[in-house]
Amino acid sequence: MTAQARAAVWIDHHTARVFHVYLESFDETTLKAPIHHVHRHPEDEQHFFADVAKALEPSEEILLLGPSTAKNQFVKYLNEHAPALAGRVAAVETSDHPSDAEIVAHVKSHFRIPPPRLR
């Protein structure tokens, strides 16, 4: 498996930050859930989770991170709506609000991605 196949998503009920981590770089995409001040609508959550799943499709291994229950609800969504993608989830971990650099470092450590070689 190559380093390009590794991804992480930090997710809560408002935002998903999807990281594709490579040997020498990473890219990050932020997806926002619909905002409701009073009631959260189940169909909005389904659309949000579908968007996150689509962003993760190219990934062969996925690390799910987040502070609350959204990460577990996303796993449930994957099991019901995208079982092939659910099978690529390597781990689900509780994580508060890390910086981009902290997430990338954690992904590299988790998947044992070596540091870039010096030229």
User: 89: domain CATH number?
Assistant: 3.30.420.60
Q: What's the pLDDT band for 39 if we cut at 50, 70, 90?
A: low
111: number of CA atoms within 13 Å, CB side? 29
What six digits make up the tokens of 43?
């169909």
pTM score: 0.84
- Domain membership flag for residue 119: no
Tell how strand 89-94 and strand 26-32 pair up: unpaired
32-42: b or e for each residue (b if 16 or more CB lie within 10 Å)? ebeeeeeeeee
- Domain membership flag for residue 40: yes
Number of domains in the chain: 1
Rounded CA gap, 32 and 48, in Å? 7
Q: Kindly report, residue by residue over 5-34, the tens digit of the pLDDT.
A: 789 999 998 999 999 887 777 788 898 988
